[in-house]
Each structure stands twice: as structure tokens, then as C-alpha cells.
Structure 1
């Protein structure tokens, strides 16, 4: 509660790698987040394409995993 109404700008601080919270978030997202997520997606598609893990072929085969909106 002591810092709830702190008027200092949050994005400028020496605690961040670039001194700016926005650029720090962009850096960590692109340097760590995107490559790790890409590796998981590539691994999944590789395993599914070779038949080593199950994949969803049709709606009738896996109705629980598909949702239909009533619009």
C-alpha cells in the first residue's frame, strides 16, 4: 500500500537491462520467449508428422477437443 500511488514513472529504472521496462520486456520476449516457443512447435510438428505422437485428424474422431459457437 505504501507504493500504491507512487507518481514516479515505472518504465525508467536502473533495475532493467536497458534502463527501460518496455525495451527490457521486448528483449526477454524475443531472445528467450520466441525461440523456446518455436522449438516446442517445431518438435510437436516433427513428432506428429512422423506418427510418434497422436494428432487430431477430424472433428468426429475427437469431438471433445473442438468447440462450436452457437452464433
Structure 2
């Protein structure tokens, strides 16, 4: 992915576990494209997002657990 279009994930480690992250943040965290995020969600490799009105967001604590599994694998 091109780094110019990535959101800043600086300070992600300081975000509270209950914070919510957008699709661009998830893409940046895992260094994958949006289509890959959705494919991994459908295969159970990434946590399912939650809907907040018209917005789709991931719970940061769930993303941290998925990142920990990725680092072990």
C-alpha cells in the first residue's frame, strides 16, 4: 500500500482498548488493502467490525489481539 494515503497510527499503543478504529487505520496496522481486510474478516482472521450508524469501526482491543496472533504466527 502507498504510505501517502495511510492515516497516522502513531500513538496507537496509547489508544484505549474500547476506542474504535476506521478501515484505513486497520489497513495501515496490518499493511493490507481494504479488500484484504474484508476477506480476512470473512475468514475469521480479523475481528468483525461494529456498525455505528453509517460508520464501520473495529474495537482497538480486538485489533490488538489480532496483531498479537499475527506476530506469533
Q: TM-score, normalised by structure 1?
A: 0.24
Q: Which structure's residues are more often strand, by fraction?
A: 2
Q: Which structure's residues are more often helix, by fraction?
A: 2
Larger radius of gyration: 1
